[in-house]
Structure 1
Amino acid sequence: MPGDAAPIDFTGLIRDGGLVVCGQATAEPVTLTETLVTQAAHLPPFCMMVGPLFSETFSTCAPNVSFQSYGVIGNARRLAKAGRLEVIPSNYSAFCADFAARRHRADVVLVQLAEAADGRLSASLSNDYVIDAARGARLVIAEINPDAPFTFGAEWPADVPIHMRVAARRVPVELPSTPLDDVSRQIAAHAASLIADGSTLQFGVGRVPDAILSSLSHARNLGIHSGLINDAVVDLIERGAVTNADKGIDAGITVTNQVIGTQRLYRFVHQNRAVAVRPTSYTHGQNVLARINRLVAINSALQVGLDGAVNSETLNGVAIGAIGGQLDFVRGANASNGGRAIIALPATASDGTSRIVVNVETVTTPRADVDAIVTEWGVAELRSCGLAERARRMIAIAAPEHRDALAASVHHRK
């Protein structure tokens, strides 16, 4: 509260050159991170390892703090734009595994936890790399948040010590759904044609995946096995579209790695045994994904090339996205019986340039792994197609004003 003493004094706790890992996205322990930012100028230089940022915590931070992440998501773009964020180009599954293998070594871990009436602790909104980071850290500081939901699957392991506990002064970070627009609805209509009853869905954050989910309320016996869930999942469950009955594994259970939404979602998952917040090794593991029936991976992109290669990381040499779990789930969907890997994106960027390009500048998903590309202009089915046919199909779903230039580029290369 304003005027109250700081909940913790980081003097002597942060060491010169140490790596401080904090919970990502809605699992950010905001009481701790806000306090650390306030005190940072009086501490020795250190590095913060962050994931997606949906709070304003790091909008201003002392220059002796550097930042690392596996991508540029949410407000992390401000840090990247200011040249303060080093991106580690890694699949999300590998990034998390690197903490377990001690290739990333945290000195201090800041984590938000929920506490049950019997004293059990849960990592609540995210079961990612933080637990493995804490297992090898010198110091683990937990923010106990009474407003954080207690989730099953994310129970804090008894063998990982909590060295200090702080009472939360903030409710968990929320991320409301982005309002839909005509383009996202048109993309959703095309994508929905690829999603059969009984499919199991994976999806990310943003307007396009939200639009696709909102278009599926008529579907039957859908399942969820995803890197995240949001408020739209609650809608689908309450409308009876999601039953998790036909997944082949985890019958009746919505499986996720992170919970990203509003208090409505947090209330829904609290002590709900029909939702499991599982570790990345399970949610993104290829041996797990291949066992799921009709896994449909829905991911986005910044660009797609005429050969089908997908770029979700950079534009004009500047990092503005992430590899994330895209390739994990594309390959998992390709290995799933009846699975589909959908890359969905608007055909044009906000400045009017085409997002269907001759060649992408960074390859996130290789052309060999691509399945279906969807824009508001239709679906390009690319699996098993040669390069010439791929180019024709990609040009057909580009914005009409860019098709001639794209076709001319193909002709010029012949």
Structure 2
Amino acid sequence: MANSVSLDHPNEPADVLEHIPPGADVIVPIQLGEPVTLLDTLEAHAESLEGVHIHRMDPYLRRRYIDGEFPGRLEHVDYFLGAGSREAFWAGHCDLVPNHFSEMPLLLRSSTKCTIALAAASPPDEHGYFSLGTNADYTAAFIGEIPFFLEVNEHMPRTFGHNQLHISQIAGWCRADRPLHEVPPAKPDDRDHRIAASIAERIPDGACLQIGVGRVPNALLASLRDHRHLGLHTEAISDGVLDLVTSGALTGTRKRQQRNKHVATFAVGTKRLFDWLDDNTAVTMEPVDWVNDPRVVANEPNFVSINATSEVDLMGQAASETIGGRYWSSSGGQADFARGAMYSPGGQAFLVLHSATSDGRSRINPRLTPGSVVTTLKNTVDHVVTEYGVAELRGRSLAKRAESLIAIAHPEHRDRLTAEARKAGLLH
């Protein structure tokens, strides 16, 4: 296989079809790692395919195969609903497999044939190595195990870490010239800044951070610029990290693993971030079954995990993948990092949410909305944060938990929550 692949003569996109037998299970990276041209090719030739399933998380783009246009020939299996698959799932056109992000490679190995990986990549270097660029995720875990067919995009930054493939390791590659999909940083509002301030004052210098993407994370990153010796060991790296590095706050000098390196498993942001990532040896992209492994996370002292949730009940159960009882995303790495932070010496985990929805409904309730699923168990949840403060739950009784959560609920709902907590036997 490898000897027929040449750096000087790329393949045609249609050559990928030679590697897609009937019943194939195709692995595609999360988000920006999508090889757009190769998936276009599979859709264009879907009538010649048989029983092919594409396994991936969080697709940005809506696609014909995701929308169920090729039943029995080319179908989508999702592991985290994204903008490109959410409506298709609601309409019954694709499946969703529950998972912890850290376990994705294990799940794929045990439940699929792992026929081939199709991925976007940066151009090869002079030594014949390709980089998966913005991605490592679950896909990089299969380097050396299964064939890869790469779509080389001139706009993909070259990154370092365990996301490199040599020309001898791939089944083929083709060229593309397409700017990467950009996600501008979400602008925080006053509630987000208040949440961020409550967390920032609890983060010591030298802490190692896992922080998500969104308004509260952006507010928090901005509020940490006066900290020093912070480290990064995170799922997604975003634009906010750049300013933290520039300010001198984020250095990684106190980390125990990958010291002096900013560790992530994928990137999401703007061209500014992509340009910063390109040939940046301070950043290392690692497979998710290492980055998100709670046992790896626990090895970092003072690990701080910050993630968003959509609803919390008065016992501390957090529903983070459904909204109003309807599936919106999936578990991702929230529980991975919450568990890891629990065992980290000095570790802390924060779940953040606004106290109420845009139409005034409380996000803290006596019980979760029917149809909602628990993402992070009450036994694992450490802190819950709203714009009204921090509820410390770890090691507290059900009554103390209910009191703490009611105290950070929206003021308009506190009396009702107290009455309902008494009725439920949580408060006496």
Same fold at TM > 0.5: yes
TM-superposed CA distance for 1:248, in Å, is 2.6
Structure 2 counterpart SS, 1:332: helix
Deviations 1:303-361 (CA, angstroms, capped at 9, x unpaired): 11111111112245421121111111001111111111000111122343221121233
1:62 corresponds to which residue? 69
1:398 corresponds to which residue? 409
Alignment partner for residue 285 of structure 1, among 275, 293, 302?
Answer: 293
Q: Gaps spanning 5+ residues in structure 2: where?
A: 1-11
* Deviation larger for 319-328 or 66-75: 66-75
- Give the Cα separation in 2 of the matches to 1:249 and 1:12: 41
2:148 corresponds to which residue? 140
2:24 corresponds to which residue? 18
Deviations 1:113-138 (CA, angstroms, capped at 9, x unpaired): 1222332111211112223456554x
Contact 1:68 1:88 in 2 (8 A): yes
- Shift of the 183–149 alpha-carbon distance from structure 1 to 2, 3 Å rule, reads same
Deviations 1:124-183 (CA, angstroms, capped at 9, x unpaired): 11112223456554x532101222111111343459832121101312332221122222
- Give the Cα separation in 2 of the matches to 1:73 and 1:389: 37
CA RMSD in angstroms, aligned pairs only: 2.3
Whether 2:130 is the aligned partner of 1:124: answer: no
- Give the Cα separation in 2 of the matches to 1:87 and 1:131: 22
Whether 2:85 is the aligned partner of 1:76: answer: yes
* Deviation larger for 85-94 or 389-398: 85-94
* Deviation larger for 125-134 or 248-257: 125-134
2:178 corresponds to which residue? 170
Fraction of identical pairs, as percent: 34
TM-superposed CA distance for 1:43, in Å, is 4.0
* Deviation larger for 306-315 or 51-60: 51-60
Deviations 1:44-81 (CA, angstroms, capped at 9, x unpaired): 45322121122344675624243222222343322223
- Shift of the 40–176 alpha-carbon distance from structure 1 to 2, 3 Å rule, reads farther
Structure 2 counterpart SS, 1:368: coil
Contact 1:96 1:128 in 2 (8 A): no
Alignment partner for residue 57 of structure 2, among 41, 51, 55?
Answer: 51
- Give the Cα separation in 1 of the matches to 2:346 and 2:232: 15
* Deviation larger for 397-406 or 338-347: 397-406
Alignment partner for residue 420 of structure 2, among 401, 409, 414?
Answer: 409
Residue 381 of structure 1 aligns with an amino acid whose one-letter code is: E
Deviations 1:240-287 (CA, angstroms, capped at 9, x unpaired): 111111123322111111121122112212222211111223211233
- Give the Cα separation in 2 of the matches to 1:109 and 1:291: 31
Alignment partner for residue 260 of structure 1, among 250, 261, 268?
Answer: 268
| 1:295-374 alignment, distance < 5 Å | 295-360=303-368, 361-374=372-385
* Deviation larger for 368-377 or 111-120: 111-120
TM-superposed CA distance for 1:232, in Å, is 0.6
Residue 140 of structure 2 aligns with an amino acid whose one-letter code is: I
TM-superposed CA distance for 1:186, in Å, is 2.1
Contact 2:163 2:287 in 1 (8 A): no
- Give the Cα separation in 2 of the matches to 1:274 and 1:32: 31
- Shift of the 118–246 alpha-carbon distance from structure 1 to 2, 3 Å rule, reads same
2:207 corresponds to which residue? 199
Contact 2:262 2:283 in 1 (8 A): yes
- Give the Cα separation in 2 of the matches to 1:119 and 1:146: 15
TM-score of the pair, normalised by structure 1: 0.91
- Give the Cα separation in 1 of the matches to 2:256 and 2:116: 40
Alignment partner for residue 397 of structure 2, among 375, 382, 386?
Answer: 386
Q: Gaps spanning 5+ residues in structure 1: where?
A: 1-5
Contact 2:63 2:84 in 1 (8 A): no
Alignment partner for residue 194 of structure 2, among 159, 173, 186?
Answer: 186
Deviations 1:338-395 (CA, angstroms, capped at 9, x unpaired): 1110001111223432211212332111111111100111110111110001001101
- Give the Cα separation in 2 of the matches to 1:207 and 1:171: 25
- Give the Cα separation in 2 of the matches to 1:160 and 1:376: 53
Structure 2 counterpart SS, 1:409: helix
Contact 2:140 2:286 in 1 (8 A): no
TM-superposed CA distance for 1:108, in Å, is 3.5
- Give the Cα separation in 1 of the matches to 2:248 and 2:202: 20
TM-superposed CA distance for 1:41, in Å, is 5.4
Residue 18 of structure 1 aligns with an amino acid whose one-letter code is: A
Structure 1 counterpart SS, 2:14: coil
Contact 1:143 1:166 in 2 (8 A): yes
- Shift of the 148–106 alpha-carbon distance from structure 1 to 2, 3 Å rule, reads same
1:377 corresponds to which residue? 388
Contact 1:293 1:337 in 2 (8 A): yes
1:3 corresponds to which residue? none
- Shift of the 61–264 alpha-carbon distance from structure 1 to 2, 3 Å rule, reads farther
Structure 1 counterpart SS, 2:111: coil
Alignment partner for residue 91 of structure 1, among 96, 100, 121?
Answer: 100
- Give the Cα separation in 2 of the matches to 1:75 and 1:219: 38
Contact 2:139 2:287 in 1 (8 A): no
Residue 179 of structure 1 aligns with an amino acid whose one-letter code is: K
- Give the Cα separation in 2 of the matches to 1:310 and 1:220: 31
Structure 2 counterpart SS, 1:47: strand
Contact 1:314 1:321 in 2 (8 A): yes
Structure 1 counterpart SS, 2:289: helix
